[in-house]
Amino acid sequence: PADIRASLGKLGVLKA
């Protein structure tokens, strides 16, 4: 779902 994808993306941005 988009929620999971958004969460992963946000985590990636925060990590980066």
The pLDDT-based confidence of 16 (bands split at 50, 70, 90) is: low
Specify the higher pLDDT residue, 7 or 14.
7
Specify the higher pLDDT residue, 15 or 13.
13
What pLDDT does 2 receive? 86
pLDDT tens-digit readout, 1-12? 788 888 888 887
Q: What's the sign of the alpha-carbon dihedral 5, 11, 15, 16? A: positive
CA 4-5-10 angle, 5° bins: 95
Residue appearing with tokens 């929620």: 3
Q: What is the DSSP letter of 12?
A: H
Asked if residue 14 has pLDDT above 70, the reply is yes
- Assigned token pair, 6: 């958004």
Specify the higher pLDDT residue, 11 or 15.
11
